[in-house]
Structure 1
Amino acid sequence: MVRTLLVRGLVLGLLAGLVAGVFAFAAGEPRLDEAIALENAAAAQQHGEHAHGEHAHGEHEHGEHAHGEHEHGEEVSRGTQKAGLFLATGLYGLAVGGVFALVYAGLRGRVGPRSDGALALAAAGIGFAAVIVVPFLKYPANPPAVGDPETVGSRTLLYLGMIIVGLLSVAVAVTTARSVPGGPWARWPAAVLAFVVPVVVASLLLPPVDEVPDGFPATLLWQFRLTSLGTQLVFWASFGTLFGWACDRAARPERPTVAA
């Protein structure tokens, strides 16, 4: 059974990843092009000021120019990057689908709704909230030209820390819901509170990251961030729906064939 669920998760995760890639290509690439244009303009301006300051040193300027041409030749074209978008979302779908299937196999019959399809949808919604929404609220995605390259490591660790907080908060919420006596009117508020409190505390304790340069268009920044969140929403909604439908279909008893 676990092998069947794993194959199902991989295949449907790949499909959902490609669906999310279509959304990201249609909604996100124009925003990314604008951000890259701003980044290139800022780099060209900085390079121009540097070249002007070194104008008296002709040999040094010539060396810098040759080095700039070498770096430019190593750049990956936007066409290649756009094609790689679908590869990235597909691989992301494979990874998430495989992990989700294993987690689902562990949850099935133990917690959550009895219906396989409802359990898949609930697990996908909780996964989206814990893995995507929780870190997004504290550390939203940034387009090119936003962020110091020297702080990539620390920012990545902080983002992963928020993902861990989200997952642990889900575990605390599930444990609370199962241990609180009474009906759903007592369990659900307690579970929500058990989820929200650790997230809020972690958000207050972890350091903020604000590296948006002065003059960067706020509209473009939030369009990029919302598109990034929307891509994840499309993936998790598509995957949860497909996985749940497949599980419900597999759980249906086969109708006996009637001989003519």
Structure 2
Amino acid sequence: MITKLIVRGLVAGLLAGLLAAVFAYAVGEPRIDQAIALEEAAAAVAAPAGDVGGTATGTHSHEAGTEEAAHSHGEEALVSRNGQRFGLFLALGLYGLAVGGLFALVYAAVRGRAGPRSEPALAVTLAAAAFLAVVLVPFVKYPANPPAVGDPGTIGQRTVLYLVAVAIGLLAVAAGVAAHRYASGGEPWVRWLVTGAAVLVPVVAAWALMPRIAEVPRGFPADLLWDFRVASLGTQVVFWAGIGVLFAFAARRRTPV
């Protein structure tokens, strides 16, 4: 039975990843192109800034700018935009396979022990909880940024903080599940109130203590930043909704758990 669930999870994850890739290609890629164009325009303006005066220093600055431009073009040629777009589908497909397998294992572990009684409802609820913990909670504190936003020197710090945010999201959801089960004997509104408090209190406390990262350059278009973040979050919504619905369809049974 576990093997069948894993196979269904892999298939559901792959299809959900491809659906998310289609959404990201249609909605997110135009924003990335706009951000890259802004980055290239800023680099073109900054490149001749040091080439003033005609002195040896100016010549050296010009040569350095030329080398930097050549390096930038070389990196761009190494992986073209078409190659990156293909990589988007490949990466999200592989990501879907990995997440789908893990999702099936978690589903098998919690089935019959927590959550709704019907298997489709359990799958959708589990996907929603995973989206809340892994995507939404970290996104609120550290939203995604397009190209030209972010200091390369802080990549390590940002990665660590994001992983800490994911861990906090997982712990908060686990606390919510435990509180929901603990208050099972009370009124429904009390049960959901306790569950919400168990999720929100640790998240709000952690967000107040964790450092804020503000690296959006002055003058960066606010509408482009907003559209990119909406597209990034929308991609995850499509992925987790897809994996929940597809797995619910694949794992459904006539009898309840």
TM-score above 0.5: yes
Q: Which amino acid aligns with 2:6?
A: L
CA gap 1:60/1:133 in 2 versus in 1, 3 angstroms: closer
**How many Å separate the matches in 2 of 1:39 and 1:63?**
18
Shift of 1:11: 1.3
Shift of 1:67: 5.8
Q: Which amino acid aligns with 2:70?
A: E
Q: Does 1:37 align with 2:29?
A: no
- Structure 1 equivalent of residue 14 of structure 2: 14
Which one of 217, 221, 244 corresponds to residue 217 of structure 1?
Answer: 221
**How many Å separate the matches in 1 of 2:244 and 2:148?**
34
Q: Does 1:188 align with 2:192?
A: yes
- Judge conservation of contact 2:48–2:62 (CA < 8 Å) in 1: no
- Structure 1 equivalent of residue 251 of structure 2: 247
- Judge conservation of contact 2:25–2:85 (CA < 8 Å) in 1: yes
- Judge conservation of contact 1:9–1:100 (CA < 8 Å) in 2: yes
Which one of 108, 112, 120 corresponds to residue 109 of structure 1?
Answer: 112
- Structure 2 equivalent of residue 25 of structure 1: 25
Q: Which amino acid aligns with 2:8?
A: R
- Judge conservation of contact 1:177–1:187 (CA < 8 Å) in 2: yes
Q: Paired residues, what number?
A: 250
What is the identity percentage for the equivalent residue pairs of Structure 1 and Structure 2? 57
**How many Å separate the matches in 2 of 1:9 and 1:19?**
15
Q: Does 1:127 align with 2:130?
A: yes
Shift of 1:66: 4.6
- Judge conservation of contact 1:10–1:95 (CA < 8 Å) in 2: yes
Q: Provide, for residues 115-174 of structure 1, a one-character-per-residue CA deviation record: whole Å limited to 9, x for no partner.
A: 110000000011111111101111100000000000011011111111111100111111
**How many Å separate the matches in 2 of 1:12 and 1:106?**
18
Q: Does 1:56 align with 2:58?
A: no
- Structure 1 equivalent of residue 155 of structure 2: 152
**How many Å separate the matches in 2 of 1:183 and 1:20?**
39
Which one of 155, 166, 170 corresponds to residue 167 of structure 1?
Answer: 170
- Judge conservation of contact 1:176–1:190 (CA < 8 Å) in 2: yes
CA gap 1:207/1:54 in 2 versus in 1, 3 angstroms: farther
Unaligned runs of 5+ in 2: none
**How many Å separate the matches in 1 of 2:54 and 2:129?**
59
Task: Give the root-mean-square deviation of aligned CA atoms.
Answer: 1.7
**How many Å separate the matches in 1 of 2:108 and 2:54?**
67
Q: Provide, for residues 177-216 of structure 1, a one-character-per-residue CA deviation record: whole Å limited to 9, x for no partner.
A: 1112313222111011100111111111101010000000
Task: Give the structure-1-normalised TM-score.
Answer: 0.91
**How many Å separate the matches in 2 of 1:176 and 1:60?**
63
- Judge conservation of contact 1:35–1:145 (CA < 8 Å) in 2: yes
Q: Secondary structure at the match of 1:74?
A: helix
- Judge conservation of contact 1:13–1:239 (CA < 8 Å) in 2: yes
**How many Å separate the matches in 2 of 1:171 and 1:37?**
43
Q: Does 1:72 align with 2:73?
A: yes
Greater displacement, 66-75 / 118-127: 66-75
CA gap 1:159/1:105 in 2 versus in 1, 3 angstroms: same
Q: Provide, for residues 208-239 of structure 1, a one-character-per-residue CA deviation record: whole Å limited to 9, x for no partner.
A: 01000000000000000000000100111111
Task: Give the structure-2-normalised TM-score.
Answer: 0.92
- Judge conservation of contact 2:128–2:240 (CA < 8 Å) in 1: yes
Shift of 1:95: 1.6
